[in-house]
Structure 1
């Protein structure tokens, strides 16, 4: 057994095969079942890692808010990421913990989010989301043009809702900070520059089979 066998993709593939083998009527939905299971398992792995690593530093609140914010937007908007799941897992975990440490330091210094610059940055992010979302690769073939337009609309709506939540409802500076960082990371993954950046790192992979875009 290799480490890829216990990755969300590996486990989801086996479970989807088991489901379609036991229930033949679901064979035509095999890819959708696999994709859904992969998302659930990816989320479970990430939550467990973030909680276990953040809790000793009392940063679990910030870490979970950062994770949930990014995951909500990513479910609709997609985005580029590393060819290897384990690189995605490691980099994502580091990003969340780094943002949480910065947020805690931000709050300890008694700092607050500057309203006007933050509003300008969020507005720019909204435009980029409207232009580039959804950014899908292999799974794009699973969805019709109409469904992709729905994903775009949901992405814009979620981004707007999370921005309003950050600026108008949540008053905790550390939580405002991690929401902003999560939105920044996700918008970056939608842009052509973000795509080229991650694909450059993918191209350095020593395994040619992993030099592909996945979503």
Structure 2
């Protein structure tokens, strides 16, 4: 296809990378929804993915260093969210849920102001780009906050609980602690797979020295 279209090498690499992302997302989605259906939490997982997935595109966050490890971690997290939402909905009252939602949204807002968009390796963002993604992340968070708090009593609130948990998990992923957790999970899965536990130098730096995260945050504002 690239030969027929006469694309340059850098454009070919971008096209290949984009196709790999699309294919990987399709595989992850098919596996996640299949398992969610088997565990009878498909609606909860679908809404969690809708809430947390787009928030992740805007706010960034930690990644595993290998596709299959990323697949395992992502599927596990969203299945856990779906199962937790179903079980927690039977244990807490609507009033407690609203109080918990308010607290989590306030914490997520503070974390978004402080750390979003999350640092990624090999890509520096200009101040204007950072501010744009931060603002979009906050707007998206406030949109879901409104849906979660004001429409929860009009439907099975396990669905909105799943969305709330997904937003909380995604918030954790772009904090220094989230980078540390993902680095440790990535290393553990790599060891179990016999790959020696290699993780990227970037997430290891954030995991081992969380204080440096703020210095990284300040340094990227210079561009």
Deviation at 1:29, TM superposition (A): 4.7
Corresponding residue of 2:119: 136
Q: TM-score, normalised by structure 1?
A: 0.77
Which consecutive unaligned segments of at least 5 residues does structure 1 have? 1-17
Structure 1 residues 150 and 184, CA, compared in 2 at 3 Å: closer, same or farther?
A: same
Partners of 1:210 and 1:132 lie apart in 2 by 26
Structure 1 residues 209 and 174, CA, compared in 2 at 3 Å: closer, same or farther?
A: closer
Deviation at 1:182, TM superposition (A): 0.3
* Aligned mate of 1:199, from 173, 183, 190: 183
Deviation at 1:139, TM superposition (A): 5.4
Corresponding residue of 2:72: 90
Deviation at 1:117, TM superposition (A): 3.3
Deviation at 1:56, TM superposition (A): 2.8
Per-residue CA deviations over 1:109-162 (Å, capped at 9, x if unaligned) read 574353233212211111101211111323524x44322321121111111111
Deviation at 1:211, TM superposition (A): 1.9
Partners of 1:30 and 1:130 lie apart in 2 by 37
Aligned to 2:63, the other structure's residue is in SS state coil
Give me the CA root mean square deviation. Answer: 2.7
Corresponding residue of 1:116: 99
Partners of 2:160 and 2:68 lie apart in 1 by 28
Partners of 1:107 and 1:178 lie apart in 2 by 10
Work out whether residues 104 and 174 of structure 1, in 8 Å CA contact, stay in contact via their aligned partners in 2. yes
- Does the alignment pair 1:211 with 2:199? yes
Deviation at 1:104, TM superposition (A): 1.9
Work out whether residues 50 and 60 of structure 1, in 8 Å CA contact, stay in contact via their aligned partners in 2. no
Per-residue CA deviations over 1:40-85 (Å, capped at 9, x if unaligned) read 3333222211211121333211111111211110111110122222
- 1:13-52 mapped onto 2 (5 Å cutoff): 19=2, 21-24=3-6, 27-29=9-11, 33-34=15-16, 36-52=18-34
Aligned to 1:138, the other structure's residue is in SS state coil
Corresponding residue of 1:14: none
Structure 1 residues 203 and 90, CA, compared in 2 at 3 Å: closer, same or farther?
A: closer
Deviation at 1:194, TM superposition (A): 1.3
- Does the alignment pair 1:53 with 2:35? yes
Deviation at 1:36, TM superposition (A): 4.0
**Higher mean displacement: 28-37 or 79-88:** 28-37
- 1:150-165 mapped onto 2 (5 Å cutoff): 150-165=132-147
